[in-house]
Amino acid sequence: MHDEAAAEAAHTRISPIPREARPFQGQRAGLVTRLVAAVLDSLVIGAVLLSGYLGLVGLVFLLHPRSFTFPELGVVFSLAAAFAVAVVYLTVFWTLSGRTYGYLVMGLRVLGHGGRRLRFAGALVRALCVVVAPIGIVWVPLSSNNKSLQDLLLGTRVVYDWEPRATRADAPLDDEAAGDLS
């Protein structure tokens, strides 16, 4: 029923979404799209880390060109850097638009309590949970309502949302708010 109402609401204005994709808008995303989005985000994080490392290399080369060697970063430092970059990256983009680059490509959006966009604190906590335990995503197909472990813990959800702007994400979903933990 809510799908029909959402489809009608989408039809009352000009929708940039292709006709065949409209019925899925607002539905909770499944494992495959979320995994693909996570992989894309991982690539972005890897690119950021690589850029940071190359920047560091360039800085070292500029400072000690004669004795230049590639800096060897420890495993702990690398993991810490990756952790920090991932958390910052996820937190910032989930706070700003509810979607990272991977989510943007796959047409997904993270919604918080009551269907609203995640606030900074919620985004930070979810980013920490996702980075610490990315395996939580495998619970998505096992869950009856496509929720990962992080979603179950925080009351968040990931939905299909091809809208360029976060109009849908800002609209509260009153009928669901009671069940969320946030």
179 scored as a contact of other proteins (CB under 8 A):
yes
Stretch in the footprint of other proteins (CB under 8 A) among 43-51, 92-100, 128-136, 171-179: 171-179
How far is residue 101's CA from residue 86's CA, in Å, rounded to a whole number? 12
CA-based radius of gyration for the chain? 19
How many residues touch other proteins under the rule CB under 8 A: the total is 51
Please tell me whether residue 100 binds other proteins under the rule CB under 8 A: no
- Strand locations in the chain (E): 108-111, 157-160
Burial (CB < 10 A; 0-12, 13-18, 19+), residue 178, is exposed
Tokens of 70: 């590639």
Write the DSSP symbol of residue 144. Answer: T
| Residues numbered 11-40 forming contacts with other proteins, rule: CB under 8 A | 11-21, 24, 26-33, 36
> Least Å distance between CB 120 and other proteins?
22
Out of 38, 57, 81, 173, which residue is the one contacting other proteins (CB under 8 A)? 173
Looking at the Cβ atoms of 85 and 106, the one nearer to other proteins is 106
Is the Cβ–Cβ distance between 158 and 109 less than 8 Å? yes
Stretch 113-142: interaction string toward other proteins, x if CB under 8 A: --x-------------------------xx
Q: Give the closest residue to 16 by CA, choosing from 172, 118, 168.
A: 168
Which residues of this protein are in contact with other proteins, per CB under 8 A? 1-3, 6, 11-21, 24, 26-33, 36, 105-107, 111, 115, 141-147, 151-153, 155, 157, 159-160, 162, 173, 175-176, 179-181
